[in-house]
Structure 1
Amino acid sequence: MFPTTLFNKLIYLIIVVFVVINHKLYRLNTISPFIVLFIFLYGYVFSFFNFVDKELALQFFLSALVLFLIYPISRYRIDIDKIAKISGFAMAVYTGISLLIVVVFMDLPISAPYYMFFSNYSAGSNGLREFAEEGSLSFHMGTVPFLYLPYCLFVISYLDKRKFRSLLCAIILFITVFISASRGLILSCLIATIAIIFFKSSLKNKIYFLSFTIPLVILLIFYLLAATNVFDSKEESNSVKIGHFESFIEHLNFFNFFLGEGLASFYYSKGSQTMKAHTEITPLDMLRYFGFILTPILYLVIILPTKKIASYLGDNVLYVVLFLIYVANSFTNPTFFNSYGLLLALWYWNKILNVSNLSSEQTVQV
């Protein structure tokens, strides 16, 4: 049968071929998509010579094709901000409806088959997540990390235009993120909010803001250390990740240090006590796949898509910070090298390459 993963990414493959054939039509203001694709192609080819999850390796490889959307976005002036906002709000509404069906009104006739949909297709999960001794309810949709982007955009929109609608949407998205109980994502949204307010404030207000925020952050850190197990090495999630890291160190040898072992290569993890092809610690996975030479290059060309220093200064500093916050979150969560994670990279490139700062008359409305 035709591979489902390949079918899902076929449109991206067509875009890559079209861009290459019609390269004169597009303004190739970055070669980062080609470098990323080359690195993932290396990892995919190399995976044939090692013990790997073949389906996951193909999925990783094809996900890199998403980045080639930067060229038609640049050419046709597509408004990614608006698309992200609409998509994020729709996801929040869907999450709310799902929460009502699966958790709140679980006795409804539709609840059981709907829950089976969650289980069979990994659309989401629910249960208790231990932050403190009692734990808290979690309802996690698979694509909830993407909400980081529309949340940030709604906060920026509110501070720029002071529209209550933007504030309301930001609150709804944050509540959706909060009930997902994804600690890294919640923290990322809070840090991003602080960064946005800081960069959008005048110099005088920045001083006031820092004088208020720094003590508050210190108090929050003390609370997390004293009253929760967020940083406790014995907490289940933290213990698993520590085990992943220790096993990674033990697994290193001369060859895989430099060359890696290919996309989705297996190794034994003490954290989960199983063979793992993919873990929550994204940088370690990339080092296992590509080695210690190509992995830094991979992150470098994604974070710095152009050699023009001016592209990272001025108003774009905020976008750099917001993107780095998301990248940092992916260090302990598998939220970056997949379709929705690379879509956020695509948005970042769009900002840095100055292809979205256009008047509304020049923008394709969606």
Structure 2
Amino acid sequence: MGEILYLNSFFFFLLLPVMVLERIHLTKIFNLASLTIILITGISYLILLYNPNTFGSLYTYLVTDKNVAMYALRNYGGFTLLMLFYKTSPLLVFPLSFYLYTLLIEKKRHHLFLNISILVSIIVTLFISGTRANILSLILIIFFYLLFYIYKKSKPFFFLTGFAFILLFVFVASFLNDTLLNKTEVSNMVKFGHFISYIQHFSTNWGVYIWGQGLGSNFYSSGVNSMVNITELTYLELIRVWGFPLTLVFMAILFFPLFVELKSGRISHLFIAYLAFLFIAGTNPLLLSSTGMIVLVYVFSEMYSSQSFVNKINAIYDKLA
């Protein structure tokens, strides 16, 4: 049964030919869906702060019954954040990149106030989600678009700003290491335990590198001090289950849209968002879920629908004909 549930997510790829043939573009749908994540997170957070009695019922529904959210206190150095992590919140990197691209690169002023309001809401929602990957992706995407905007305005000022960011990073590197990679923090302890357990498991079971253990298999992780069949360290989990050769093929498929876009000579908002999503997926089992597969359908359908990709396919077909 576990193997069937694991494979169910891949059936979402059957949507890919439909999206391409019917010319269905998912950007607007993703942006509208993000409003749902923002509203659920915002309302839940406000209930938690101002109506603790109602929050008990909400917690039971979202966390216990549906298992779609997590509440916790996260400590980042001397800063404590009340975290509300809705499990599909990593998808917000797509509208985040879209709205930053629209406002800073394309400089569209249509519905300016609405677009800025949605952008701010996305930033706040990603921040209170509390996960290090979400917050780090948020910061890096904003920095990228700010630098890109400055580059288009003034190349000398771009290099000056870039140098300033490098100096800033050097000064805060130690703080970031203590804050984001603190091994005494519970979440980091779990991930570090998983990582050590993978290394030990691979070192004592060399065949796993080649063949993998297969779907539904488990192994002992000191991160949770028990047998587990999946962890948050997605890419190591792929090797454990599928083996290194098959994982390498799957990774090549994942990165193919990025390679195609780099070859096209242009970087879109989707490229930046997808890169951030793959980073987040490294510490989140979202990639192999139905949500992760929908992201892949979105990215691949946009790639196949792009005119530059269609022209290349036609050129290859003409050469073979």
Range of TM-score over shorter length: 0.7 to 0.9
1:33-84 C-alpha deviation (Å, 9 max, x unpaired): xxxxxxxxxxxxxxxxxxxxx43x3332111122232211111121211001
How many residues get paired?
300
**Conserved? CA contact 1:77–1:356, under 8 Å:** no
* Contact 1:229-1:235 at 8 Å conserved across structures: no
Say whether 1:59 aligns with 2:10: no
Secondary structure of the 1:74 match is helix
Deviations 1:196-226 (A, max 9, x none): 3445665553552343244335425643623
The Cα shift of 1:93 comes to 1.2
Residues 296 and 120 (structure 1 numbering): CA distance in 2 closer, same or farther, change over 3 Å?
A: same
> Which structure shows the higher helix fraction?
2
Q: Name the amino acid aligned to 1:169.
A: I
**Aligned residue in 1 for 2:247:** 295
* RMSD, aligned CA: 2.6
Return 251-260 or 323-332, whichever deviates more.
323-332
1:133 to 64, 73, 78: 78
Letter in 2 for 1:113: S
Q: CA deviation at 1:297?
A: 0.4
Partner residue in 1 for 2:199:
249
Q: d(CA) in 1 for partners of 2:299 and 2:257?
A: 9
Distance verdict in 2 for CA 1:278–1:81, change over 3 Å: same
Report the CA distance between 1:299 and its aligned residue. Answer: 0.9
- Using the TM superposition, name which of 226-235 and 266-275 deviates more: 226-235
State whether residues 210 and 245 of structure 2, in contact with CA within 8 Å, keep that contact through their aligned partners in structure 1: yes
Matches within 5 A, 1:287-366: 287-304=239-256, 309=260, 312-316=263-267, 319-355=270-306
Instruction: Render the CA deviation track for 1:236-287: whole Å, top value 9, x for unaligned.
Output: 2222222212211221223211010112421101122111111111111000
Instruction: Give the alignment partner of residue 18 of structure 2, picking from 63, 72, 79.
Output: 72
The aligned amino acid for 1:191 is: L
**Residue in 2 aligned with 1:279?**
231
Matching residue of 2:56: 112
Structure 2: any 5+ residue segments left out of the alignment? 309-321
- Specify the alignment match of 2:158 in structure 1: 209
What's the counterpart of residue 319 of structure 2? none
Kept after mapping to 2: 8 A contact 1:282/1:332 = yes
Identity of aligned residues (%): 25
Check conservation: 1:224, 1:231, Cα contact below 8 A: no
1:235 matches 2:185: yes
Secondary structure of 2:179's aligned partner: coil
How far did 1:312 drift?
3.8
Whole-angstrom distance in 2 between the partners of 1:209 and 1:60: 46
* Secondary structure in structure 1 of the residue aligned to 2:24: coil
Q: Do the aligned residues in 2 keep the contact of 1:258 with 1:291 (CA within 8 Å)?
A: yes
Distance 1:218 1:140, change over 3 A: farther
Is 1:147–2:96 an aligned residue pair?
Answer: no
Q: For the residues of structure 1 that align with 2:135 and 2:236, how far apart are their CA atoms?
A: 22
User: For 2:152 and 2:218, how far apart are their aligned partners in 1?
Assistant: 51
Per the alignment, do residues 342 and 356 of structure 1 end up closer, same or farther by CA in structure 2, a change over 3 Å counting?
farther
SS at match of 1:289: helix
